[in-house]
């Protein structure tokens, strides 16, 4: 069971960014080193919060338009991935980093990253719920395995495509194979950089994986492991949970405006 956001940390008349952060950090999982404030003033009084998958220029523009001076993003706002790049300062002049920083500065926006905390809070389980997978047969840490009625990989992929409202999904492996035990490497856990997570899932003997984002290295891993994989989208697999979190945050802190910005799938 996930915890529920309460407003015990934000019951004062003026809500600061730090108070919103304390509320988020009161979730079931403590913040990791890659989470926390990424830009702006943690003590700024907050008029509104925009929740989004990534702090893109479009998200920043939406925050300004909606008069939100705090962004809670799920993914890192800088390139390259800052959690793995010490000495980030030398990358701040990169084109996208510079443009985002300029836009945030002009909008006087504070940015807070909530990554694993929100995965644990609702993102993983909300993806499974949207897919209609039912209760997990395995729920250990971030590992989820679901037993479903037998169907072919092609039938499952078609079902996933319709639920996700996507024009297409990518399938690795035999589309005609019958499957009934689903592993769920949501978000970016289907990428080869997270191949140890896929190997961990295989210990629970799934016969098909439904991923967020994957790549060809991971696809070949799944081919040689003889487990078909259905790829949806990193952002699409996590938007369900982020919308849920935004609703919960709005209920917990009714005195400020909370807006969910749905980052789109970036490819056609």
User: What are 155-207's pLDDT values in tens digits?
Assistant: 999 999 999 999 999 999 999 999 999 999 999 999 999 999 999 999 999 99
The residues pairing with 189 across neighbouring beta strands, listed in sequence order, are: none
Strand 257-261, strand 36-39: pairing? unpaired
| Secondary element (H or E) of residue 38 | strand 36-39
Residue 7 confidence class, pLDDT cut points 50, 70, 90 = low
Question: Does pLDDT of 221 surpass 80?
Answer: yes
Report the distance separating Cα 182 and Cα 184, nearest Å: 7
Residue 87 confidence class, pLDDT cut points 50, 70, 90 = confident
Report the distance separating Cα 174 and Cα 123, nearest Å: 29
Correct CATH for 119-236 of 3.40.1390.30, 3.90.1300.10, 2.40.10.220, 2.60.120.20? 3.40.1390.30
Torsion of CA 221, 224, 226, 228, to 10 degrees: 40
Residue 232 confidence class, pLDDT cut points 50, 70, 90 = very high
CB-neighbour burial class of residue 160 (10 A; exposed 0-12, middle 13-18, buried 19+): buried
Q: Where are the alpha helices (DSSP H) in 68-215?
A: 95-107, 116-118, 124-131, 153-164, 195-202
Residue 1 confidence class, pLDDT cut points 50, 70, 90 = very low
Instruction: Domain 17-115+238-261: state its class.
Output: alpha beta
Backbone angles phi, psi at 187, to 5 degrees: 55, -125
Report the distance separating Cα 2 and Cα 149, nearest Å: 27
Residue 14 confidence class, pLDDT cut points 50, 70, 90 = confident
Report the distance separating Cα 190 and Cα 180, nearest Å: 19
Residue closest to 93 by CA, chosen among 78, 112, 110: 78
Report the distance separating Cα 178 and Cα 54, nearest Å: 36
Question: Does pLDDT of 69 surpass 60?
Answer: yes
pTM across the whole model: 0.94
User: Distances in Å between the alpha carbon of 260 and those of 73, 83, 217?
Assistant: 10, 25, 33
Question: Does pLDDT of 97 surpass 80?
Answer: yes
| Secondary element (H or E) of residue 70 | strand 70-73
Alpha-carbon Rg for the chain, nearest whole angstrom, is 19
Report the distance separating Cα 125 and Cα 143, nearest Å: 10
Contact status, residue 220 vs residue 161, Cβ threshold 8 Å: no
Domain(s) of CATH 3.40.1390.30: residues in the chain: 17-115+238-261, 119-236
Query: Which residues have C-beta within 8 Å of that of residue 180, sequence separation ≥ 6?
Result: 147, 148, 149, 150, 151, 207
């Amino acid at each position: 069971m996930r915890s529920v956001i309460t407003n015990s940390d934000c019951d004062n008349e003026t809500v600061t960014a730090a108070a919103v952060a304390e509320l988020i950090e009161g979730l079931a999982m403590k913040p990791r080193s890659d989470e926390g404030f990424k830009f702006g003033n943690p003590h700024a009084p907050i008029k509104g919060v925009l929740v989004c998958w990534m702090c893109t220029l479009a998200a920043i523009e939406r925050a300004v338009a909606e008069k939100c001076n705090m962004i809670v993003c799920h993914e890192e706002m800088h390139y390259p991935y800052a959690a793995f790049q010490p000495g980030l300062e030398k990358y701040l002049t990169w084109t996208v980093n510079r443009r985002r920083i300029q836009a945030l500065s002009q909008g006087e926006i504070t940015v807070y990253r909530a990554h694993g905390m929100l995965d644990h809070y609702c993102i993983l389980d909300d993806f499974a719920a949207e897919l209609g997978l039912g209760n997990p047969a395995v729920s250990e840490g971030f590992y989820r395995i679901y037993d479903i009625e037998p169907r072919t990989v092609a039938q499952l992929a078609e079902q996933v495509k319709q639920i996700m409202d996507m024009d297409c999904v990518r399938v690795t492996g035999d589309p005609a194979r019958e499957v009934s035990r689903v592993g769920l490497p949501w978000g970016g856990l289907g990428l080869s950089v997270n191949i140890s997570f896929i190997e961990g899932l295989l210990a629970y003997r799934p016969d098909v994986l439904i991923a967020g984002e994957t790549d060809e290295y991971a696809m070949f891993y799944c081919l040689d492991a003889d487990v078909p994989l259905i790829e949806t989208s990193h952002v699409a697999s996590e938007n369900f949970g982020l919308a849920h979190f935004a609703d919960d945050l709005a209920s917990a802190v009714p005195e400020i405006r909370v807006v969910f910005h749905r980052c789109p799938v970036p490819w056609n």
